[in-house]
Structure 1
Amino acid sequence: MSSGSLDDHRCELEHEPLELKPLASSFNSLLDRLAESWNRQRKFANALSHELRTPITLITGYSSRVLSQSGNLNQDQRHQLTIIDDETRRLGRLITDLLDIAREKTGALVVTSEPFSVLETLEQVFLLNRGDHETRLKMESSSHGMDQTWAFGDHDRVVQCLGNLIENAFKYSSEDKCVELSCSSTHEHVRLQVRDHGPGVLEADQELIFEQFQRGSNTAEQPGSGVGLALVRSLMKRMRGHVWVENAADGGAIFVIELQRCQPPQQQCRDCSVSFLSSEL
């Protein structure tokens, strides 16, 4: 039994012994109340997310347009407008995450598992997130040797997961520190890593922070919702991957997402052709 199947499980009173019927009836009533409460919560999350998406998108679009034509504004005005643009983008990502969590709970979240190029994905993530943080986002040079490395997963969802991890990393890194994006691989797995130079994560909190609406005990001074990391874990589970955090030896935290490695599509085709020719011979 889970939150998504509360409507499907009930005790059949006619099949229960006489002395257990009151208990079974109370259990059914409990499930009815839980199912009703869960359905209300799900509908509220869906409705709120959809209703907020449109105005947030409009605000983001107009603020970006004004920023691109801000030649007649003074430095303080541009700074204030940049804050508006950054915060509306952050709010937009939060709304998207909440909507995805609501969909994941009901089984309506679409996640595919197909081969994708690790290097192309890293470069896309780097370009998408570099604009918000200028030169503070770094991509390790060793990652550029991954051009023939492919993994199984949902490309768009992997981009979303890495974006959440990068946003989280900048939140806990001081403005003079960089956030580093890197990749490594083994024969069976590919690991995409986001490293910050913040306070790290206490060992006791390293599982807790991936729970929905939970945050580390040393993050009270930083604003946060406890949604982004929970969504990353949910998406990784749907892609049969893993996510975890570990502390770097010289300070900071390293968030790692791990996916199954696969051969490039052209390599798979060549292998199939070789197998076919061998069988013909």
Structure 2
Amino acid sequence: MFWKSVVFKLWSTIILLVAFVLMILTVLLLEFFENFYIDDAEQNLVNQAESVQSLVESHQQEDVSIETVNQLMDPSTRVTIFFDEHQYWQNEASQGQSFELDPSWFIASSDINQSLSEDEQIREITTLPNSDEEIMVVGIPTKDEQGAIYVYQSLNVVEETTDQTTDIILLAATIAIVLTTIFAFFLSTRITAPLIRMRKAASELAKGEFHTKVPVLTYDEIGELANSFNLMRRQLNYHINALNQEKSQLSSILKSMADGVITVNKQFDVLIINPPAEQFLEQLKYEHDLAEEPLPEMLTTYFNDVLMDEQEQSVEITVQGRSYVLVMTPLYDNSVIVGIVAIIRDMTDERQLDKLRKDFLANVSHELRTPISMMQGYSEAIVDDVAESKEEKQELAQIIYDESLRMNRLVNELLDLARMEAGHIQLNPEQVDVKTFVQRVMNKFTTLAQNQKIQFNSHFDLEQTTVMFDPDRIEQVLTNLIDNAFRHTEEQGMIHVSVWKSGDEIHFEVTDNGKGIAEEDLPFVFERFYKSDKARTRHQSKKGTGLGLSIAKHIVESHGGTIVARSKYEEGTAFTFTLPLILDE
């Protein structure tokens, strides 16, 4: 509001100050001029009385002196001359004069007579009889002291002069007030205009706008204030940008961290949290049904222990089947604990790797123990001449040879798988006619299909028959899938190989109506050494190493493709893998 602004306050202060000064000055001037005019009128009457006294004394003839006095007297002035107690003269009233004192009034006034008897002048302001009009009376005795001269005048003249002077003074005061108002408003506006601009600039600073500059129009204190404000604006802009940059960097670092970070104060209010930590809290709340709580009671208990012990602590908890390690450290500010910083690390992959390492050692030991035991047993039989005939020894040697081939195949597959997992697989892509390629791979199983009386056929739906891939590696994949189909399909069964194009990909599918894979085993068929036959008691001819599908997956993915398995137990299985038509270099 304008009434609360600095302009109004400064303007009203100046106006009140000037008005007060002018009021006092007006009162003093009016009093001064009123006294001045009264004194002047009184002195003028005294001078006139003395002039009349001189004229009366200087002329022997009363008629001549009276005539002279009548001509010399001011029209607004009345004069009464007492030559003695019984003889007096009074000039005639001029036109417009309404006041007149009867000579008997002077004789009746004891104060006047007493003063004249003491040879003193009379100066008195009195009121006309039967009237409210004031007059000023001046009387002096004649030189022979036998008479007196009275000169009197109405104070209306003095009042008119005083009123005129008052009007002039009030007019001057009014003009001074108006000019002062204009000047004060102009001055206050000029003084406060830079302040208003600085206020607006400060409001914009509060809103985060740091590019507003206050113009410097003067070089006084206000100009220095504007310079200081602009300097402050630049410094604030610099520091705010630096803080925003640091905050942005900190936020980017926190968001890009794989580990979760939670910072809380001593009241366990969350100050800083990143997305992995938010996901962890959501999982923890979901598992324990704590949707309404900001922090689960489990975490607050851990945090409280850290505050009590004032040292770092770590715990490992399992949430939704995943393992997390929670490392909690006190947060200090000048050696005073103000909160807690918690690092949440997902250790599921590490624990899974440890488990896979242990399973790998167990599986390798298991896969090698059987052929080694068989080779050891059959070789002891040969050494101890348990097999007496040549045919028996030949059979035992053949078993030892087959087991050695199995061990060699296992070791080679382990080496291939290790190279693939290390990213050292080498592809030699070339243009391959898909139909010819698939037929060549299928021809290797024609005799096996005839022996097992399995219906083995193919279907092609291709517009483009030539595709770029590594034929040796894809042959290894396709051979493994077809071999698995034959090993799990009974006699009179069916195995079907389909190839078709969809979009920018080519699809290969091997389908059988064999025993299928149990639903609980299906997600793990591409893991190394995983076998759905947990007892590992299959027929010797159908025994595998458990590495083929894992190797096949790595080969397909190295080509930029995907492989999936679909199966229904006791109904059949379908393995489908896709390859891009344009192989990435």
State whether TM-score is above 0.5.
yes
Shift of 1:114: 4.3
Residue number among 95, 100, 106 corresponding to 2:416 in the alignment: 100
Shift of 1:185: 1.7
Deviation larger for 127-136 or 220-229? 127-136
Q: TM-score, normalised by structure 2?
A: 0.29
Q: Is 1:239 the counterpart of 2:556 in the alignment?
A: no
- Measure, in 1, the Cα distance between the counterparts of 2:447 and 2:396: 18
Note closer, same or farther for the CA distance 1:165–1:96 as it changes in structure 2 (3 Å cut).
farther
Please say if residues 113 and 239 of structure 1, whose CA atoms lie closer than 8 Å, have aligned partners that are also in contact. no
Please say if residues 151 and 261 of structure 1, whose CA atoms lie closer than 8 Å, have aligned partners that are also in contact. yes
What are the equivalent positions in structure 2 for 1:79-90 lying under 5 Å apart? none
Q: Is 1:166 the counterpart of 2:482 in the alignment?
A: yes
Please say if residues 188 and 261 of structure 1, whose CA atoms lie closer than 8 Å, have aligned partners that are also in contact. yes
SS for the counterpart of 2:513 is coil
Shift of 1:177: 1.9
Shift of 1:231: 0.5
Task: Name the aligned partner's letter for residue 232 of structure 1.
Answer: A
Shift of 1:248: 6.6
Deviation larger for 122-131 or 84-93? 84-93
Note closer, same or farther for the CA distance 1:132–1:250 as it changes in structure 2 (3 Å cut).
closer
- Measure, in 1, the Cα distance between the counterparts of 2:569 and 2:559: 30
Shift of 1:118: 1.5
Unpaired segments of 5 or more residues in structure 1?
1-18, 24-30, 46-78, 264-281
**Identity of counterpart residues, as a percentage?**
26
Note closer, same or farther for the CA distance 1:169–1:93 as it changes in structure 2 (3 Å cut).
farther
- Measure, in 1, the Cα distance between the counterparts of 2:563 and 2:490: 24
**Paired position in structure 1 for 2:157:** none
Q: Is 1:154 the counterpart of 2:483 in the alignment?
A: no
- Measure, in 2, the Cα distance between the counterparts of 1:181 and 1:82: 34
Shift of 1:154: 1.5
Shift of 1:178: 3.4
Deviations 1:73-108 (A, max 9, x none): xxxxxx999999987776665444222112213333
Note closer, same or farther for the CA distance 1:179–1:108 as it changes in structure 2 (3 Å cut).
same
**Paired position in structure 2 for 1:119:** 435
Note closer, same or farther for the CA distance 1:139–1:178 as it changes in structure 2 (3 Å cut).
closer
Please say if residues 118 and 146 of structure 1, whose CA atoms lie closer than 8 Å, have aligned partners that are also in contact. no
- Measure, in 2, the Cα distance between the counterparts of 1:110 and 1:86: 30
SS for the counterpart of 2:553 is helix
Note closer, same or farther for the CA distance 1:142–1:166 as it changes in structure 2 (3 Å cut).
closer
Note closer, same or farther for the CA distance 1:189–1:218 as it changes in structure 2 (3 Å cut).
farther
Shift of 1:227: 0.5
Deviations 1:4-59 (A, max 9, x none): xxxxxxxxxxxxxxx99xx9xxxxxxx9xx9xxx9xx9xxx9xxxxxxxxxxxxxx
SS for the counterpart of 2:444 is helix
Please say if residues 209 and 229 of structure 1, whose CA atoms lie closer than 8 Å, have aligned partners that are also in contact. yes
Shift of 1:253: 0.2
Please say if residues 563 and 577 of structure 2, whose CA atoms lie closer than 8 Å, have aligned partners that are also in contact. yes
Shift of 1:191: 1.1
SS for the counterpart of 2:421 is helix
Shift of 1:113: 4.2
**Paired position in structure 2 for 1:175:** 491
Deviations 1:193-247 (A, max 9, x none): 1122212223332220101111236785433322000100111111111111113
Please say if residues 247 and 253 of structure 1, whose CA atoms lie closer than 8 Å, have aligned partners that are also in contact. yes
Please say if residues 149 and 261 of structure 1, whose CA atoms lie closer than 8 Å, have aligned partners that are also in contact. no
Q: Is 1:188 the counterpart of 2:504 in the alignment?
A: yes
Structure showing greater radius of gyration is 2
Note closer, same or farther for the CA distance 1:262–1:216 as it changes in structure 2 (3 Å cut).
same
- Measure, in 2, the Cα distance between the counterparts of 1:133 and 1:88: 26
**Paired position in structure 2 for 1:10:** none
Q: TM-score, normalised by structure 1?
A: 0.55
Task: Name the aligned partner's letter for residue 142 of structure 1.
Answer: H
Q: Which one has more relative contact order, counting CA pairs under 8 Å at least 6 apart?
A: 1
Residue number among 117, 129, 142 corresponding to 2:459 in the alignment: 142
Please say if residues 115 and 262 of structure 1, whose CA atoms lie closer than 8 Å, have aligned partners that are also in contact. no
Note closer, same or farther for the CA distance 1:148–1:140 as it changes in structure 2 (3 Å cut).
farther
How much is the aligned-residue C-alpha RMSD, in angstroms? Answer: 4.4
**Paired position in structure 2 for 1:197:** 513
SS for the counterpart of 1:226 is coil
Task: Name the aligned partner's letter for residue 238 of structure 1.
Answer: S
Deviations 1:129-156 (A, max 9, x none): 334444666554532x547323342111
Note closer, same or farther for the CA distance 1:232–1:154 as it changes in structure 2 (3 Å cut).
same
- Measure, in 2, the Cα distance between the counterparts of 1:88 and 1:207: 32
Residue number among 445, 456, 469 corresponding to 1:129 in the alignment: 445
- Measure, in 2, the Cα distance between the counterparts of 1:87 and 1:176: 30
